């Protein structure tokens, strides 16, 4: 059956967060013709005949530990300038429908369920969502707040891995748009190898690291040695609060540093600092200072400043990935999809340079066209 004739589920982990709310509201706005699909690579010409599920065919649900209804969450984002004025009212029915499909996540404080019991409950939520809505398939996308890396020898799986295990058990393609562990834990390797499902991740590339992945190849190609690369992130909102935890910040920074090490051949001097500034809300300022050598050792510096809204940058990419993984699943593709490394700081294989990643993505689109 063609993907165009059916509906496709998108199940967000962190379904009431800024990214998921922006993606849900934005999808409704694009489907209704209220706004253009800016930032959605899958809505550009190379993907027109790839058989991707139409934007209007996506059905949203998810897990979350918060209880703020999506329509209210969207109003808060509109008040902060993340969503256009009036959009929450224009797509209120779509937001309410998605909110009705959100189930309690976990584990919450005091939850006595074992890992197995939690995975079973989460998988049952996914199976029920897919069945009740008559969906061809459901893609699980983790957009929850960054969690610290698990301690060595930890007895319990981190929450991100519980949700990932539930996705595998329910037969759902999986995307990890966060730096959290997800599928990348030894406890799930056997299940990942046996699942015959497409999956992609880890850690979406939206702002500072996107710019780094463009600039770093420039220095390599022009034979300009980079001596040091330092950065600072100022952000508020849920991400700012989560990344105020040094362990969570370390998990986030690992992906930023990996892009430079993979492209330059070694990690240069310098660190990235992340500061929580609640007054900024969902907006972020990222500053980079790059020290490099020119001809005859001339010392030079490049500084960049990136100001933007992470939710608005991430939401179109999340919709892209849900559509691409759904189509890959329909085409019978399995395992990690390195072609989708274009979207990630820490991808499942593939080239490190953004230009090469984009070409790999276009080749993937061509492959999907050929499978129709």
Tens digits of residue pLDDT in 158-181? 999 999 999 999 999 999 999 999
Query: Is residue 231 a contact partner of residue 286, using CB atoms and an 8 Å limit?
Result: yes
The answer on pLDDT for 2 being more than 60 is no
Tens digits of residue pLDDT in 246-282? 766 666 666 667 788 888 999 899 988 888 898 888 8
The answer on pLDDT for 3 being more than 50 is no
CA nearest neighbour of 55 among 26, 77, 89: 26
How far, in Å, CA of 43 to CA of 16, rounded? 25
Tens digits of residue pLDDT in 296-354? 999 999 999 999 998 999 999 999 999 999 999 999 999 999 999 999 988 887 777 78
- The residue among 84 and 239 whose pLDDT is bigger is 84
DSSP of 278-334: GGGTTEEEEEEEEEEE-GGG-EEEEEEEEEEEHHHHHHHHHHHHHHHHHHHHHTT--
Residues 138-159, mean pLDDT to the nearest whole number: 92
DSSP of 28-91: HHHHTTSS--TT-GGGSGGGTTS-PPPGGGEEEEEEES----HHHHHHHHHHTTSSPTTHHHHT
How far, in Å, CA of 346 to CA of 165, rounded? 20
The predicted pLDDT at position 252 comes to 63
The answer on pLDDT for 89 being more than 50 is yes
The answer on pLDDT for 208 being more than 90 is no
How far, in Å, CA of 145 to CA of 247, rounded? 13
The predicted pLDDT at position 243 comes to 64
The answer on pLDDT for 4 being more than 70 is no
- The residue among 55 and 5 whose pLDDT is bigger is 55
């Amino acid at each position: 059956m063609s993907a165009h004739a059916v509906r496709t589920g998108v199940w967000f982990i962190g379904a009431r967060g800024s990214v998921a709310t922006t993606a849900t509201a934005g999808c409704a706005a694009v489907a209704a013709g209220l706004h253009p699909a800016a930032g959605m690579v899958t809505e550009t010409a190379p993907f027109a005949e790839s058989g991707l599920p139409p934007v209007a065919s996506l059905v949203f649900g998810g897990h979350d530990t918060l209880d703020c209804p999506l329509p209210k969450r969207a109003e808060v984002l509109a008040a902060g300038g993340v969503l256009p004025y009036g959009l929450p009212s224009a797509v209120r029915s779509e937001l309410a429908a998605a909110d009705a499909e959100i189930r309690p996540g976990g584990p919450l404080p005091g939850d006595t369920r074992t890992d197995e019991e939690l995975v079973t409950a989460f998988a049952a939520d996914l199976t029920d969502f897919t069945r009740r809505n008559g969906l061809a398939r459901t893609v699980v996308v983790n957009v929850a707040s960054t969690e610290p890396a698990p301690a060595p020898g930890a007895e319990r799986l981190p929450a991100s891995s519980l949700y990932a295990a539930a996705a595998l058990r329910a037969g759902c393609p999986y995307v990890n748009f966060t730096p959290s562990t997800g599928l990348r834990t030894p406890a799930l390797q056997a299940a990942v190898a046996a699942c015959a499902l497409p999956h992609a991740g880890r850690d979406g590339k939206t702002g500072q690291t996107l710019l780094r992945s463009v600039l770093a190849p420039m220095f390599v190609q022009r034979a300009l040695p980079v001596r040091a690369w330092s950065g600072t992130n100022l952000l508020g909102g849920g991400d700012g609060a989560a990344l105020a935890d040094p362990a969570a910040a370390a998990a986030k920074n690992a992906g930023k540093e990996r892009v430079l090490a993979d492209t330059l051949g070694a990690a240069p001097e310098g660190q990235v600092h992340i500061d929580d500034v609640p007054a900024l809300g969902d907006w972020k300022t990222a500053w980079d200072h790059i020290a490099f050598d020119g001809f005859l050792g001339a010392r030079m510096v490049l500084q960049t400043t990136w100001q933007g809204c992470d939710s608005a940058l991430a939401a179109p990419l999340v919709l892209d990935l849900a559509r691409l993984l759904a189509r890959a699943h329909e085409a019978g593709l399995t395992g990690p999809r390195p072609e989708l490394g274009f979207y990630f700081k820490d991808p499942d294989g593939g080239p490190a340079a953004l230009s090469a990643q984009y070409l790999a993505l276009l080749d993937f689109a061509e492959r999907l066209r050929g499978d129709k």
